């Protein structure tokens, strides 16, 4: 047979295989739709879980980079302290003196202590809500103010360590605090670690800032550090959660971190990347669970598709047996199953990728309402491409199982 004749015969056989496969898919549309939806869900699970993993990492990096700080000095993780005022056990002691010592270095521009505590907040001294209070400087360019002004004065209440200076009673709030208490710039809030302390301290809202609430992911009021310590009863030990350090231009942050750790043993000094990794490591169980879900989603997709393809073969056993009895080759029957698998994989993959964008938007909105962080689900093009690319191999894996079933098919048994 000439090459042209062989080619013509091959093309005829391929057209026949494709025609039979499409006819079978059209014949039982319910089975076809269920198979496509199964693959779609498998792809959607993989793309969304992958998007969450990417979003968590990138969001964390952006939060640290946006802080305008290079190093983070901590005395260990901030721990919950139930039954205590403020509810948090901040681990940096003598925070003002330690930050002053770090700031005195030639390779450091600024070092600022920060503390976080739970505080009671009220507009009238009768109805109370508990929110996070941040004790931090809020006068630099790294703090964004969308309405009002920054703090008008420095942390004068600290007064060199004796906490005898006048309290400014200035507070910055975020949009959620403004909405929760229906307050704006110029209004007053009672704030304190206990209700009794809060009733004695009336603060004036000087500005609205999203900076600290974005970093913490929760509604936040921001005070001068010494004033937060005063209203939560931690002035005796001058406790803070951490010290942020801005390194001089042209200086290697990692080198400075090593030197600060050497000069101040007992404290951990991390770069932005190291601080993010340390935060992520404390969520190892959650990350492991997410990774397990990804693996299970892939395995479930393969198992589901394989089961569907075996079901396709089983339900078509009479037709396939008849074709085999009429002299069709096993390779032709396997080809029918493979074409069906490819069609199902392409359709399911396309639908899964198409559904990822609206599903990711919805999931991101839910995450923002629950934890306060936005853009925690991110689906770059390569994730979408990977989801589609995985759909076809999953379908082919099912086709391999189904093809093995076809090779074992007996015309006599199949016709019964």
pLDDT confidence tier of residue 303, bands split at 50, 70 and 90: low
- Reduce the DSSP state of residue 22 to 3 states and report it: helix
* 307-335 tens-digit pLDDT: 666 676 666 666 666 666 665 666 677 77
In Å, the largest CA–CA distance within the chain is 105
What is the pLDDT at residue 83?
A: 46
Question: Which single residue is written with the structure tokens 């000087």?
Answer: 206
Which residues, including other chains, have CB under 8 Å from residue 369's CB and lie 6 or more apart?
none
DSSP character at residue 240: B
* 178-228 tens-digit pLDDT: 999 999 999 999 999 999 999 999 999 999 998 888 777 788 999 999 999
**Is residue 260 a contact partner of residue 269, using CB atoms and an 8 Å limit?**
yes
What is the pLDDT at residue 45?
A: 75
* 142-155 tens-digit pLDDT: 678 889 998 988 88
The predicted model scores a pTM of 0.59
SS (H, E, C) 161-185: HCCCCCCCCEEEECHHHHHHHCCCC
Q: 77 is written with which tokens?
A: 């993780």
DSSP states of 104-171: TSTTEEEEEEEEEEEEEEESSSSS-EEEEEEE----STTS--SEE-S-SS--GGGGGGT--SPP--EE
Lowest-confidence region among 21-25, 159-163, 283-287, 395-399: 283-287
3 CB burial (10 A radius; 0-12, 13-18, 19+): exposed
Lowest-confidence region among 132-136, 317-321, 386-390: 317-321
Question: Which single residue is written with the structure tokens 């990096």?
Answer: 61
Residue 414: closest CA among 330, 338, 345: 330
CA-CA distance, 132 to 80, in Å (whole number)?
Answer: 13
CA-CA distance, 192 to 122, in Å (whole number)?
Answer: 10
Torsions phi, psi for 152 (to 5 deg): -80, -25
């Amino acid at each position: 047979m000439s090459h042209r004749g062989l080619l013509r015969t091959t093309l005829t056989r391929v057209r026949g295989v494709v025609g039979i496969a499409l006819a079978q898919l059209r014949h039982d549309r319910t089975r076809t739709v269920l198979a496509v939806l199964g693959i779609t869900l498998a792809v959607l699970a993989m793309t969304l879980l992958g998007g969450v993993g990417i979003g968590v990492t990138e969001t964390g990096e952006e939060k640290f980079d946006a802080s305008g700080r290079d190093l983070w000095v901590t005395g260990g993780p901030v721990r919950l302290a139930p039954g205590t005022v403020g509810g948090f056990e901040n681990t940096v002691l003598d925070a003002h003196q330690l930050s002053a010592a770090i700031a005195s270095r030639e390779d450091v521009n600024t070092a600022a202590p920060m503390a976080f505590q739970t505080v009671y907040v009220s507009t009238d001294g009768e109805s109370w809500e508990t929110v996070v209070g941040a004790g931090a400087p809020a006068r630099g360019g790294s703090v964004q103010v969308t309405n009002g002004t920054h703090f008008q004065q420095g942390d004068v209440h600290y007064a060199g360590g004796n906490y005898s200076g006048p309290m400014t009673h200035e507070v910055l709030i975020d949009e959620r605090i403004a909405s929760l208490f229906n307050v704006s710039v110029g209004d007053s809030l009672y704030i304190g670690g206990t209700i009794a302390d809060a009733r004695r301290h009336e603060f004036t809202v000087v500005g609205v800032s999203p900076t600290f609430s974005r970093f913490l992911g929760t509604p936040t009021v921001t005070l001068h550090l010494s004033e937060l310590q005063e209203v939560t009863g931690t002035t005796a030990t001058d406790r803070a959660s951490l010290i942020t350090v801005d390194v001089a231009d042209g200086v290697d942050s990692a080198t400075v971190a090593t030197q600060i750790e050497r000069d101040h043993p007992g404290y951990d000094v991390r770069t932005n990347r190291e601080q993010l990794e340390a935060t992520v490591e404390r969520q190892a169980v959650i990350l492991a669970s997410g990774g397990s879900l990804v693996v299970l989603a892939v395995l479930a997709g393969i198992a589901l598709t394989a089961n569907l393809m075996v079901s396709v073969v089983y339900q078509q056993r009479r037709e396939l047996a008849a074709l085999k009895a009429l002299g069709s080759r096993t390779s032709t029957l396997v080809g029918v199953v493979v074409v069906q698998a490819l069609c199902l994989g392409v359709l399911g993959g396309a639908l899964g990728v198409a559904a990822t964008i609206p599903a990711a938007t919805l999931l991101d909105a839910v995450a923002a309402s629950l934890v306060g962080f936005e853009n925690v689900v991110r689906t770059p093009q390569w994730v979408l491409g990977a989801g589609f690319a995985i759909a076809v191999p999953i379908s082919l894996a099912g086709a391999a199982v189904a093809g093995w079933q076809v090779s074992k098919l007996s015309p006599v048994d199949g016709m019964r």
